[in-house]
Amino acid sequence: MTGISLIITFILAIIIMIWLIAKIKVHPFLALMGVSLTLAMLAGIELNRIPTIIGEGFSAIFKSIGIVIILGAIIGTILEKTGAALKLADLVVRLVGQKRPDLAMLMMGWIVGIPVFCDSGFVVLNPIREALRSKIAANPVSMAVALSGGLYASHVFIPPTPGPIAAAGALGLSHNLLLVIIMGIVVSLPVLLAVYLFAKYIGNKVSIEQPEADHIIQQSYEQLLQHYGKLPNGLLSLAPILFPILLMALGSIGKILGIGGQLGEIIQFLGNPIIALTVGVIFAIGLLLQTEKIKEFDQLTNETLKIVGPILFITAAGGVLGKIIIEAGFVEYIKQNAHHISTFGIFFPFIISAILKTAQGSSTVAIITTAAIMGMFNANDSLMAVLGLTSEIAATLCVMAIAAGAMCVSHANDSYYWVVTNFTKLTPQQGYKTQTLLTLIMGIVGILTVYVLSLILL
């Protein structure tokens, strides 16, 4: 199959995949694998080659990024279960001050959202929001919007959350996660500003009824602290996040300076993302020791693997789809008509990701699938080559564009939408005015930031 018929088949395959996930509620792994297999047969790939192609696409993801996703998830789980995430939030409140509750919630969410899933982060931090409302009569809606946006920004832009890690691996950046982290921080800053301004605005437009007495809300916060028992100290709470970043930074600096010999080998060893995150896990174990929860380590690990397992399988299935797309000749056809697609530039992955996000709800699935479609930045047979995104900086900006698209938009088919609305006591209609509109603004500001950076850096 060639030409327009191949393009139409591919578009239909994506539509069917979205329909299976969003309407029929088929697990994304099965939907991706089923669509990949069907697409391979319809595209005319030799039947005896299809199993090999599927195996190569599946294993390549595990080889490049699987361990990193697992280690990052373990760190996040321990931070959440030991109360370290709560401690980090408390540090942010002390730093920013109770006179700026919206800014405090925004920064709290952004920091905690780096290692912790945004859904879990909102559940963990929501009692602090309610306690602040009780203590200083702060606007509950603006604080909820700020917290939601802060968590969401780091969730999609900054590793070690699985989405940006998987995208980095699929685009060929698994060896340079530090660059992705730095770019994620840079891109998220204008997005955070937009979140803050929108939170201040929408807080005066939407009101919610909270019949509970303030002392009951305060009591819920006290119960949360009692649940965790003794919170770990601030430095140890920060260490599982800070030290991996510092080690990866050291590895990058060593490469730039050309440090060789035994010292250079040690630096590169410690700066490898797998080793750096292993060090983060070691510090996280220190949290378990300090909070006297080390006996729960095995249970926490098992819980983490249960959570991260589906993500790994979806990521690998996305790799299969990407491999099938290449083998089917889709990318080759696009190359031959590059003058059409190249005009979209960095906006192309944003559009694909936004369509997938809006249609099926999961930001992680949207990021993984779009990254798989784009392919490696250093591969001649990838869409990255067609778009001219053939450097590490270009690939990093592409990760950011995909992440921005994966924000647009959170609505009724997104679990995070329901977490935010239910815990904030917003009606579904108010959820569209707040959470849905917020994520649209975040995505647009994100891609515009990426575009400006591309004009400067590319």
What burial class does residue 239 get, using C-beta atoms within 10 Å of its C-beta: 0-12 exposed, 13-18 middle, 19+ buried? Answer: buried
User: How many angstroms separate the CA atoms of 454 and 446, rounded?
Assistant: 12
The length of the chain in residues reads: 458
Backbone angles phi, psi at 443, to 5 degrees: -65, -45
Q: Is the pLDDT of residue 98 over 60?
A: yes
Quick one: pLDDT at residue 213? Answer: 40
Which pair of structure tokens corresponds to residue 123?
A: 């559940």
Q: Which residue has the tokens 């601030």?
A: 234
User: How many angstroms separate the CA atoms of 417 and 432, rounded?
Assistant: 9
User: How many angstroms separate the CA atoms of 126 and 118, rounded?
Assistant: 12
Q: Dihedral sign, CA of 192, 123, 299, 290?
A: positive
What burial class does residue 303 get, using C-beta atoms within 10 Å of its C-beta: 0-12 exposed, 13-18 middle, 19+ buried? Answer: middle
Give CA torsion, residues 384, 385, 389, 391, to 10 deg: 110
User: How many angstroms separate the CA atoms of 283 and 281, rounded?
Assistant: 5
Strand stretches in 38-160, DSSP E:
none
Backbone angles phi, psi at 264, to 5 degrees: -60, -40
pTM above 0.95, yes or no: no
Quick one: pLDDT at residue 137? Answer: 64
Quick one: pLDDT at residue 189? Answer: 97
- Say if residues 160 and 102 touch (Cβ distance below 8 Å): no
Most confident of 36-40, 432-436, 438-442: 438-442
Q: Is the pLDDT of residue 9 over 60?
A: yes
User: How many angstroms separate the CA atoms of 283 and 450, rounded?
Assistant: 34
The conformation of residue 434, written as its DSSP 8-state character, comes to: I
Which pair of structure tokens corresponds to residue 144?
A: 């909820």
Q: How far are the Cα atoms of 65, 110, 177, 271 from residue 266, in angstroms, in the given order?
A: 21, 32, 18, 8
The confidence band for 249, taking pLDDT boundaries of 50, 70 and 90, is confident
The pLDDT mean for the chain works out to: 85
User: How many angstroms separate the CA atoms of 452 and 449, rounded?
Assistant: 5
Q: Is the pLDDT of residue 217 over 50?
A: no
Quick one: pLDDT at residue 309? Answer: 85
Most confident of 168-172, 370-374, 427-431: 168-172
Q: Which residue has the tokens 């955070």?
A: 192
Which pair of structure tokens corresponds to residue 422?
A: 């239910």
Which pair of structure tokens corresponds to residue 384?
A: 């990255």
User: How many angstroms separate the CA atoms of 176 and 193, rounded?
Assistant: 27
Which pair of structure tokens corresponds to residue 100?
A: 């700026």
Quick one: pLDDT at residue 214? Answer: 44
Q: Is the pLDDT of residue 216 over 50?
A: no
The conformation of residue 24, written as its DSSP 8-state character, comes to: S
Q: Which residue has the tokens 């930045």?
A: 377
User: How many angstroms separate the CA atoms of 81 and 124, rounded?
Assistant: 10
Quick one: pLDDT at residue 359? Answer: 73
- Say if residues 158 and 185 touch (Cβ distance below 8 Å): yes
Q: Assign residue 261 a region (left: φ > 0; alpha: ψ between -120 and 50; beta: otherwise).
A: left
Give the residue-averaged pLDDT of 315-323: 81
Candidates 239, 333, 338, 228; CA nearest to 286 is 239
Q: How far apart are the two ends of the chain, measured CA to CA in Å?
A: 35
| Amino acid (one-letter) located at 271 | G
* Helix, strand or coil, per DSSP, at residue 208: coil
The conformation of residue 296, written as its DSSP 8-state character, comes to: G
The confidence band for 215, taking pLDDT boundaries of 50, 70 and 90, is very low
Q: Assign residue 391 a region (left: φ > 0; alpha: ψ between -120 and 50; beta: otherwise).
A: beta
Most confident of 11-25, 82-96, 409-423, 434-448: 434-448
How far from chain centre, in Å, is Cα 167?
A: 9
